[in-house]
């Protein structure tokens, strides 16, 4: 997820859920970190598929 949108969503959620200054900052950090972890599985799966060559591709190269 784009960092700009992560920040906007985390700020909106912290504003809605936070009661005071400290709790708003803590909630912002929690939401921001959770949004950063949302897309890690899809990146890892895509990266693994792109890196592994197929046997047919190796055979046709020679």
Give the separation between CA 32 and CA 54, rounded to whole angstroms: 38
- 26 or 48, higher pLDDT: 26
Query: Total domain count for the chain?
Result: 1
Q: What is the pLDDT of residues 33-61, one digit of tens each?
A: 999 987 666 555 556 556 555 666 565 55
Q: Helix/strand/coil (H, E, C) string of the chain?
A: CCHHHHHHHHHHHHHHHCCCHHHHHHHHHHHHHHHHHCCHHHHHHHHHHHHCCCHHHHHHHC
Q: Which domain holds residue 53?
A: 3-61
How large a percentage of the chain has pLDDT more than 90? Answer: 48
**Residue 14: CB atoms within 10 Å:** 19
Tokens 């939401």, residue located = 31
By the 8 A CB rule, do 14 and 28 touch?
A: yes
pTM for this model (two decimals): 0.61
- pLDDT at residue 17 in the model: 94
């Amino acid at each position: 997820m784009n960092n700009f949108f992560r920040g906007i969503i985390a700020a909106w959620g912290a504003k809605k859920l936070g009661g005071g200054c400290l709790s708003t900052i803590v909630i912002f950090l929690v939401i921001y970190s959770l949004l950063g972890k949302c897309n890690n599985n899809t990146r890892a799966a895509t990266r693994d598929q792109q890196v592994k060559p197929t046997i047919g591709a190796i055979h046709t190269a020679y």
